[in-house]
A and B are shown apart, each in its own frame.
Chain A
Amino acid sequence: MIKVVQYINQFFANVGGEEMAHIPAEVRTEIVGPGLAFQQAFKDEAKIVATIVCGDSYFNENLEEAKKTILEMIKEYNPDLFIAGPAFNAGRYGVACATIAAEVKEQLNIPVLTGMYKENPGADMFKNKVYIVSTKNSAVGMKDAVKKMAPLALKLAKGEKILSSAEEGYLPNGIRVNFFEKERGSKRAVNMLLSKLQDKEFETEFPMPDFDRVEPNKAVKDITKAKIALVTSGGIVPKGNPDHIESSSASKFGKYDIDGVMDLTEETYETAHGGYDPVYANLDADRVLPVDILREFEQQGKIGSLHRYFYTTVGNGTAVKSSKAFAAEFSKELKQDGIDAVILTST
C-alpha cells in the first residue's frame, strides 16, 4: 500500500478563511477536505496517512521555519508520495504548495505532485521543478483536478513512465515528450488556423522559447600578435573518426593535435557530419577547417600563431543544450591556454 501525506491550507481544512491564514502547520491523522476525494480515487492502492494543514500567510511569512517544521512532520510518516493542494488560482496557497513539494522532492527524495491554475504564480516559479497538474481557476474544479491528479500521483509513486504533458495533464515543464495525437498534423494545423482566423482561443503545440542572442566580443586589438584557435561544428576529424563523433545529434566533441600539420589532406582528415554532401570536405578538409591558410598567415606574420589543438563536433541535429555543454567545457581549456581569438566555422 502506497502511503501518502497531503498538504492543504486553512481554507480547505475548514479552519477558516483569510482571518485564519496565520495558523502554523499542524498534523491531522484523519482525512481532511480534498483528501476525501483523493482517497476515493486511490481506492485500495494508496492510503492518506496524514494531512498537514498550514495557514497561507504563515507559510509565506515564515518560509524557512515552515519548510523545516513541515519536513519534520512528513518524515515521521515515511510516506511514498507527497501531494500538495490543489491550489487552483489562490496565489499564496499555490506558491506554498509548489515550494513545499519541491522541498520534499529534494530533501526526502520521494515523488511529489501538486496542482493549480496555469496562471497561479506558483506555476511559473516551479513547473520545471515538480509536476504541477493544470486545474481550473477555482475550487469548482476540484472533481476534475482529482480526476487528473490521483492517477498521475499513483503512476509517480509506482515509478511508471510519465507520458507527455498533454496526455497526463501536467503543465508543460520544458521536457518535450513524443506522443500520438488523434488527428494528423496537417488537420491540426488547419483547425488551429481556423481558430486563429476566428479570434478563438487556440493552443500552440510548441511555445516559442526565449531566444538567447550572443553579443559579439570586441575586436582583437592586434591580430598579428594573437594566438588563434580553430573550432568547428562542421565535423572535421582525423581520418577514420577515431572518437566516433555521431553524424547527427553529436554526444561529444573531439580535440585534435595539429602541431606541425600544414595542410589537411584527403588521406589524413575527413568530415563526420551527416548534414551535407561530404565530397568536397573529404577531398580537402581545409574547406571547412582552414588550417592551410592560417599556417600561411602564421608564416607571413599576419597572425600571432595557430593554437596546437582544434576542437570539433557535428552541428547536424545536435541539441542546443549539448552544444552549450561542449563549449562550456572546451572554452575553459582555451582560456587556460591563453587563446586570444577563436575562428568558429560551420558547414
Chain B
Amino acid sequence: MKLELGYIYIKDIQFAEKSKVENGTLYVNKEEIKALVMEDQNFKSVEVELAKPGDSTRIMPVKDVIEPRVKVEGPGGIFPGMVSKVQTVGSGKTHVLKGAAVITTGKIVGFQEGIIDMTGTGAEYTPFSKLNNLVLVCQPVEGLKQHEHEKALRFAGYKIAIHLGELARTLVPDESEVFETPTVKEGFKLYPELPRVAYVLMLQSQGLMHDTYVYGVDAKQSLTTMLYPTEIMDGAIVSGNCVSACDKNTTYHHINNPVIHDLFSEHGKTLNFVGVIITNENVYLADKERSSDWSAKLAEFLGLDGVIISQEGFGNPDTDLIMNCKKIEAKGIKTVIITDEYAGRDGSSQSLADADVSANAVVTGGNANEVINLPALEKVIGYTSVADIIAGGFSGSLHEDGSITAELQVITGATNEMGFNKLSAR
C-alpha cells in the first residue's frame, strides 16, 4: 500500500471574510466555523479563537488536537467510519495543512483535560505550541451528560478539521513524501537480509471516556488486529479520550505517529517495516490476557525479528505494556517499549505500576510528576479555574496573579508515549 502525503506549510492563521489558504497563511471565516459547530444541537454556543506560536496565550482545558487533511486521490476519506464512509484508506494522495491544527476545549470531566501554553515554560513541553491553532470553545446545552458532551466535542473537532482540510484540495503541495508498505510476500523477496520489524500500537480503551476508535469501532470491543501504517495517516484511528493530558494520544499524534515515520525512514535500509499491530488496553484481566496473547501471536505469525511497543496512559495500562513485552520477548522477538514515568514529585519513587526483566530496552517520555511553574499569560482561552483540580494540579496550583504551579501531567502531550517529544528522564 502506497500513500503520498503532500504538505502545504502553514506559517500563519488569520480570520477573514473568505476561508482559504494563500502564501502559507490559513484564512478562516469565523462565522462559517461557528455555524458548522452549531449544527449540533448539543451545543448552546461556540467561540472560535486563534492561538499562534509565541502568543502570550494559555488554552485550557484542552480535549483534542486535530490536523486538517484531505484525501485528493485514492479510496475513502479522512476519519473513515467516523466522518467519512467506511472504506479502507491509506493509499493514493492526501494533502496536509502542515503547521495548523484544530483544538477542541471544554470542561467535560473537569479533571481530565490539559493545558497548552503558546509561550514560556509550558510551550517547551507541548508540541502544539509550535502550531497555528484554531481553538473551538464550545458550551454544551444544559443537562448534557458528560459522555454526550465528549462525543459532540469530538465530532465538532473532526468536522472543522475536515472543513479546513478541504481548503487544501486543489493546492500544489510545498513538499511531498511517499510511504509504501509491501505485502508480506513482497517484503520477504525485497529485503531478504533485513530484520522484520513491526510496531505494536497500544490504544487507550479503559472505557468511560477513555476510548479510541478505529474505523469507527470502539477499540475496547475489538480484538488485536493489523493495519497498514499509511491507513493511520488518513485518520483510521482517532482519539475519544479524556485522560491525563500529558500522555494521551490526541488525534494529531495518531495521524502523525512518530514511530511510524521513524520506522519508515529506516525501511529498506536497516530494517523491513512490516506493519502495525494495534491492541487495546482494557480494564479486565481476561481482556488484557487475550489482547496481549494476540499481539504476541500476530508478531510470531508475521515472522518478526523485532517490535517497538508504544503505550497510552499510565497505571492500569502499564500491565498491558508489560504483558505485551513479556509475551513477545518469549516468542524470541526483540522489543523496545516506550512509556513515561510517575516517579513522584521528587523523582524517587518506582516509576511504573508493573515491571518485568524482559523489558530491558525502554524509552521514557519523562517523569509526569515533576513540578513545573507556568507564568501568567496575557490571554486565556477557556478557564484557568480548573487548575487546582485537573490531573496534575493540586490545591493552590493556581496563583492569584494567574501563574500556575503544577505537575508536568497538566501539559497536553508533554510525556507522550509514542516518542513524539525529546523529553526523557534518567
Q: Which residues of A contact B (CB under 8 A)?
A: 164-166, 172, 174-190, 192-194, 196-197, 202, 204-209, 211, 244, 246-249, 251, 273-280, 315-322
Contact = CB atoms under 8 A, between A and B. Distances in A.
A66 to B, nearest CB: 31
Nearest to B410: A248
A275 B360 contact: no
Contacts of A321: 344, 348-350
A192 B363 contact: yes
Contacts of B363: 185, 188-189, 192, 205
B270 interface: yes
Contacts of B145: 279
B422 A185 contact: yes
B361 A319 contact: no
B409 A189 contact: no
Contacts of B343: 176, 319
A202 B336 CA distance: 11
B354 A176 contact: no
B121 to A, nearest CB: 12
Contacts of A206: 339, 341, 351-352, 362, 364, 425
A193 B348 contact: no
B254 interface: no
B416 interface: yes
Contact of B426 (A164, A188, A189, A209): A164
Nearest to B357: A208
B109 interface: yes
28 contacts: A164-B425, A166-B424, A176-B367, A178-B366, A178-B424, A184-B258, A186-B419, A186-B420, A190-B266, A193-B336, A196-B361, A197-B334, A204-B360, A205-B364, A206-B339, A206-B351, A206-B362, A208-B355, A208-B359, A248-B392, A249-B407, A275-B244, A277-B146, A277-B242, A279-B145, A315-B315, A317-B244, A319-B350
A322 B342 CA distance: 11
Given A208-B360, A320-B349, A277 B408 contact: no
Contacts of A197: 195, 197, 271, 305-306, 334
Interface of B: 109, 111-112, 145-147, 195, 197, 206, 208-210, 242-244, 258-259, 261-263, 266, 270-271, 305-308, 310, 314-315, 334-336, 338-339, 341-357, 359-370, 388-395, 407-409, 416-426
A317 B361 contact: no
Given A185-B419, A189-B259, A317 B426 contact: no
A36 B345 CA distance: 40
Contacts of A166: 424, 426
Contacts of B346: 175
The winner among A166, A246, A248 for most chain B CB atoms within 10 A is A248
A317 B392 contact: yes
Given A208-B356, A211-B355, A317-B409, A202 B361 contact: yes
A277 B111 CA distance: 9
A186 B426 contact: no
A185 B424 contact: yes
Contacts of B341: 176, 206
Nearest to B333: A197
B409 A248 contact: yes
Contacts of A315: 315
A249 B395 CA distance: 12
B264 to A, nearest CB: 10
A248 B420 CA distance: 23
A197 B348 CA distance: 32
A174 B348 contact: yes
Give 8 nearest A-B pairs by CB, closest first: A185-B419, A274-B111, A319-B344, A186-B419, A277-B208, A321-B349, A248-B391, A319-B349
A244 B388 CA distance: 9
The winner among B338, B341, B367, B419 for most chain A CB atoms within 10 A is B419
Nearest to A318: B342
A241 to B, nearest CB: 9
A316 B418 CA distance: 21
Contacts of A178: 366-367, 370, 408, 423-425
Given A186-B261, A189-B308, A247-B389, A322 B315 contact: no
Contacts of B416: 185
A98 B418 CA distance: 39
Nearest to B397: A246
B261 A209 contact: no
Contact of B421 (A177, A184, A202): A184
Nearest to B242: A277
B146 A279 contact: yes
A186 B422 contact: no
Given A186-B259, A249-B342, A179 B347 contact: no
Contacts of B208: 276-277, 279-280
A146 B206 CA distance: 51
Contacts of A247: 111, 389-391, 393
Contacts of B365: 185
Nearest to B111: A274
Given A184-B258, A189-B259, A189-B419, A179 B210 contact: no
Nearest to A170: B426
B347 A176 contact: yes
A320 B362 CA distance: 20
Given A176-B343, A190-B263, A320-B353, 15 more contacts: A177-B347, A178-B408, A178-B425, A179-B424, A185-B258, A185-B364, A186-B258, A190-B266, A204-B360, A246-B394, A247-B390, A249-B369, A275-B111, A319-B343, A321-B344
Contacts of A177: 347, 367, 370, 425-426
A211 B359 CA distance: 13
Contacts of B370: 177-178
The winner among A178, A206, A321 for most chain B CB atoms within 10 A is A178
Contacts of A275: 111-112, 243-244, 315, 391
A189 to B, nearest CB: 5
A274 B392 CA distance: 9
Given A184-B422, A186-B419, A317 B342 contact: yes
Contacts of B261: 186
Contacts of A207: 362
Contacts of B270: 194
B391 A274 contact: yes
A176 B362 contact: no
A222 B349 CA distance: 38
B336 A196 contact: yes
A127 B342 CA distance: 21
